[in-house]
Amino acid sequence: MDDKRTQVRNIIKDTKSLPTLPGIITKLNELSANSKSTIQEMARLVSSDQVLSARILRLVNSPSYGFYRVSTISNAMILLGIDVVKSLCLSSSIFELMETTALGLWEHSLGAGVAANIISHKLKIPESEEISTAALLHDIGKVIIKIKFQEEHEQLLEIIRKREISSREAERELLGTDHAEVGGWLAKSWFLPDKLLEPIAFHHEVHKSETHQTKTAVVHLADVLIKASGFGFSGEEFVPRIQPAAWKKLNMNVQLLEEIVTELEEKLIEVKNFSLDIQASHVQ
Amino acid sequence: MQTIPIVTATADMVLAKDVKRSDNPDGPPLCGKGVVLTSSLINRLENMGIKTVTVEGHPVWIEGDVTIEQQLAALERRFKKVANLPLMQSLMEMYRLQILRSMGEADGR
Ligand SMILES: [Fe+2]
Ligand SMILES: [Fe+2]
């Protein structure tokens, strides 16, 4: 089974084999590495891609971010930060794939982004935009597994359904790795910052997150809550437990949890509309 | 009570919650709980960028809506693997109340 794991890892490492990494990310990486380049230059680059700009503006204006009426890419970049826009470019291309290949997973990810935003605001945790982005991307490994290992993916779905086990258990059995680890590899090969990488790689094993455990804990809790609410479909039906490490790290209590759940359920109605909106715009 | 997209709101529905601006949730309400909606009021709220309102009962049947019984059964199934953990039991209870509330039952007020 370790052979399989190596095989998966090599495929992820070979970024050329990933059709989803847009050239614009590479250019953005170059620009942001150069201290002389300005936000305007980067904004111009992003704006050159109409579809991408439209999507970024939609995301910035979506309820999960709570900024309203952001109409220019450079404002989006100032508000969200360059790192976030970079990962939005990334996630928007991933989302494009998800929307067409796995709408349920897309809704699950969007919902987790919203939940993470609510949790970090409620608990007054800084860098909530980054946490939301990490939550949007947390199951990115599932997308890659679906695209790159279509045959195994079919089997995975069947095993999960028949034996009522979790995605991770099924993935470990069949691929020798799981979507969290795969997501971590992917984040690494895309040079995403650790504050995005750790929540992606450890959202099912919060205690293993070293430098960004709070962010990882938020993403984990967001994932559990969105599963509990039955919003979207992550690929498995059952709600996992809230990990004690996350509960402790976030200093949670039942009262706070209840407030978060109530706020989340209200917000999800808006998100449902937003998601219907995007589907409608695709039909046009 | 039910939170509905404003486009599905109609005259005579009763607000179950204050309507606030989403970009200023701590500001003064645009419209108070208990107010009976009229079409001009709905228009005005829409123009102010309000996307959803919370109204009494469960007046809007959205496609894909399922009955309370179905929702509760699905909830219990989702929690099947963690039903023995006290914390997860309380989480499930929170969602049970959410479902009842969203369907206009046991408003908990
Ligand atoms: Fe996951
Ligand atoms: Fe997930």
Q: Where are the domains of chain A?
A: 2-283
* Structure confidence at residue A97 (pLDDT): 63
Strand, coil or helix: A93: helix
A45 vs A118, which has greater pLDDT?
A: A118
Calpha distance A101→A78 (Å, rounded): 32
> What number is the average pLDDT over the span A179-200?
87
Percent helix, strand, coil in chain A (nearest 5)?
Answer: 75, 0, 25
Distance A138 CA to ligand 2 centre (A): 6
A104: pLDDT strictly greater than 70: yes
> What number is the average pLDDT over the span A183-205?
88
* Structure confidence at residue A283 (pLDDT): 42
Calpha distance A205→A113 (Å, rounded): 19
Q: Percentage of chain A surpassing pLDDT 70?
A: 75
Residues 6+ apart with CB under 8 A from A243: A205, A206, A207, A217, A220
Q: What is the pLDDT of residues A205-241, one digit of tens each?
A: 999 999 999 999 999 999 999 999 999 888 888 999 9
Calpha distance A201→A216 (Å, rounded): 9
CATH number, span A2-283: 1.10.3210.10
Residues of chain B neighbouring A239 (CB-CB closer than 8 A): 78-79, 81-82, 88, 91
B6: pLDDT strictly greater than 80: yes
- Chain A residues at the B interface, defined by Cβ less than 8 Å, are 63, 66, 68-69, 164, 227-230, 237-242, 247, 254, 257-258, 261-262, 265-266, 269-270, 273
> What number is the average pLDDT over the span A157-173?
94
A15 vs A36, which has greater pLDDT?
A: A36
A282: pLDDT strictly greater than 50: no
Residue of A118, A166, A266, A269 best to disrupt the B interface, most CBs of B under 10 A:
A269
> What number is the average pLDDT over the span A245-255?
97
A251 vs A189, which has greater pLDDT?
A: A251
Residues 6+ apart with CB under 8 A from A281: none
DSSP classification of residue A275: H
CB pairs under 8 A between A and B: 69
Sign of the CA dihedral running B22, B28, B30, B33: positive
Note whether B74 contacts A66, CB cutoff 8 Å. Answer: no
Q: Percentage of chain B surpassing pLDDT 70?
A: 88
B76: pLDDT strictly greater than 90: yes
For the whole model, what pTM was predicted?
A: 0.75
Q: What average pLDDT is seen over chain A?
A: 82
A274: pLDDT strictly greater than 70: no
Distance A92 CA to ligand 2 centre (A): 17
Please, are residues B39 and B11 in contact by the beta-carbon 8 Å criterion? yes
The highest-confidence range among A15-29, A46-60, B93-107, by mean pLDDT, is B93-107
